[in-house]
A and B are shown apart, each in its own frame.
Chain A
Amino acid sequence: MLKLVFKYIFTILVLLFLSPLSMKAETTLQSKVDGAANGEKIEIEAGVYEGAIKIAKSVTLSGNGNVVLRSCEQTPIVAISGQAVQLRGVTIEYCGDESEGAGIYISGSNHVLEDILVKTNHFGIRLEDASGIAIENSSVIGNKNGNGIDFWQSSHNVVKNVMIKNVADGLYLERSDDNSIISNRIDGSRYGIHIMYSNDNLIEKNTSKHNITGGMVMEAFGTQIRDNVFSFNDSNVNAQGLLLYRAFNSFVEGNTLESNRLGIFVEESEENIIKNNKVARNFIGFQFKQAKKNAAETNDFSENVHDAQAIDSEDNEVRGNYWDSAAMVDSNNDGRSDIPHKSDPYFLSLTENIPGYRLFFQSPGLIFLQTMLKSPPEKLLTDVAPLINRDVQEINKESGQVDMVFMAFAMVTVSSIIFIFGRKRE
């Protein structure tokens, strides 16, 4: 009997010891921050801390072990202001219902956030009037209600190696200039990277997949979009890889846009350069709408259902791209076709108002109609000198030829065997 009681007490003690003890953030963390001198390092012991804290002086907070800061209040869990605050190695769980609520709120300058996991019901990290901030090697997981990392009037910041999932817009920049968004990964969100009224931002080596739109640049000047992957943005009726809407002087180079509903869409935008991108396996590869003075060159357009389309667009320079659907002749061996490649959006414009016509895709009657009733020249997107080869294609072609010879040889052998032995039996 005594043994049994002892056993019970022991079990309860063990349970108590192992269960995560939740502490009040106000009394533990906040008092530590308040008592610290500028430049001091504060180590946070493992555990769950309930409530919100404010950091307004240059201190470093780093989690030692599994540190979770949790709050369902209106205020952000960690509010950082002032200068040079560093926050490392913590998990932030925002469970509040405040529509503008956020896990971390940042203003001021030169703060560093590293190794942070934010789980949020609304916004992940918000930057307001912040500059010189570095957010690196972190993750934001949301509930589709707010943006992952939200910039408002915040310039000269860096976001690098951050994984963002299941939010409204992965990275949203408004009135925020000269920021660098590098090597981040955004999945399952509304727009991966969304730039609005913001100039001279760098978007480099990011991967934005399975979102409604991979990258969206609106009302912006001088955006550099390099070496990103905007792919598999295809599950929404309005899905697209990259949209430039009223974007000016952007530089879009070396990106991969694969398996989207629409690869690159350029609307009401001017003087953008779109170069060396791979645009493959999209429903529509490339689309200009009321776009002027843009240049598209040496891009690779392959295996798209529709190559390209231009609506009310003029003075765009489309030259030297590779189109797998183009009929090509190169009489002077300069690697460029002598026949301009024209993308006719006939089928597309036909199905725009009556989607049911899509049933007739590639039907002989429709192809006949398309040749008969050519779209007016101003609707065509014309590449004046399409590329004959692209490097990848070259290799494929060679191996393809070897395969063909082998296949032909094998078929001849097999049929002769059948022929010879078949006759003998008779």
Chain B
Amino acid sequence: MNKKFLSIMMVGIAMLIIAACGKDEVKPAAIKEDSDKCEVCNMAVVDGPHATQIVLEDGKSMVFDDIGCMYGYLDKNKDKKFAAEFVRDYHDKEWIKADKAFYVYNKSVKTPMAYNVVSFKDEARAKKFADKNDGSTILSAEKLEDHSWERNRDMMMKNKMKHHSHSEGNKMEDASHEKISEHDMKEEHKKEDMH
């Protein structure tokens, strides 16, 4: 009798442990600099504030080197289900759930893929950074959904694309493209020291 009771107890405890494990919070994986590469752009992922990741339902995780790359991936895979998405605090690199974080978009912030968005664990930190750096826009997680992810040089690239496709086009047209590009460059010159 005693033995039976004990075995039932054991089974009960084991089930409890399993149940507890199952309910475990989704945890981000650590960045392995020598083997992790961005799912989207193929670049090595630096274990720094710009690294992001998506944890899949089977516990595996996909890493990205820039917040923009992760949102690009999410946009292309809307039908897929994921366990969680994580970004990092710009200052202490703590992993934060992407929907709980606050973001700052500033054209002059250098990020690995030049999406120019950085993340913070609370609004106060985001605000402090935005106050320090002119031209910043604070974005909540919901607002980030509508962010265009336009990169600094996208304008120039588009002009260049036209320029190249009319490779034999007339010179006037080429010159006008150059002018736009130069104007863009000047715009970009007005950058603040971010450090």
Interface residues of A (CB under 8 A from B): 100, 129, 153, 174-175, 190, 196-197, 199, 212, 216, 218-219, 221-222, 236-238, 243, 245, 248-249, 265, 267, 271
Contacts and interface: CB of A to CB of B under 8 A. Distances in A.
Contact of B188 (A153, A216, A219): A153
A312 to B, nearest CB: 12
Contact of B164 (A196, A212, A222, A245): A222
Contacts of B188: 153, 175
B34 interface: yes
Interface in B152-182: 152-153, 156-157, 160-161, 164
B49 to A, nearest CB: 12
B164 A248 contact: yes
A271 B153 CA distance: 20
A174 B35 contact: no
Contacts of B114: 174, 196-197, 219
Contacts of B127: none
A237 B32 CA distance: 12
Contact of B42 (A153, A199, A238, A248): A238
A153 B195 contact: no
18 contacts: A153-B188, A197-B151, A197-B153, A218-B41, A218-B43, A219-B114, A219-B153, A221-B157, A221-B160, A221-B161, A236-B34, A236-B35, A238-B35, A238-B37, A245-B42, A248-B161, A267-B42, A271-B164
B162 to A, nearest CB: 11
A245 B164 CA distance: 18
B61 to A, nearest CB: 15
Interface in B106-158: 114, 151-153, 156-157
Given A129-B189, A197-B157, A249 B164 contact: yes
Contacts of B44: 190, 212, 238
Sort chain B's interface into a size bin: 20 to 34
Contact of B41 (A190, A237, A245): A245
Contacts of A216: 43
A264 to B, nearest CB: 13
A197 B44 CA distance: 17
Contacts of B37: 238
Interface of B: 34-35, 37, 41-44, 114, 151-153, 156-157, 160-161, 164, 185, 188-189, 195
Nearest to A98: B195
A174 B152 CA distance: 11
A34 to B, nearest CB: 25
Contacts of A129: 189
Given A175-B188, A199-B160, A267-B42, A100 B195 contact: yes
Nearest to B153: A197
A179 B157 CA distance: 17
B164 to A, nearest CB: 5
A169 to B, nearest CB: 10
Given A174-B114, A236-B35, A243 B157 contact: no
The interface centre, meaning the residue of B35, B43, B164, B185 with most chain A CB atoms within 10 A of its CB, is B43
A245 B38 CA distance: 12
A237 B153 CA distance: 30
A153 B189 CA distance: 8
Nearest to A155: B185
Contacts of A218: 41, 43
B161 to A, nearest CB: 7
A248 B160 CA distance: 10
Contacts of B156: 197
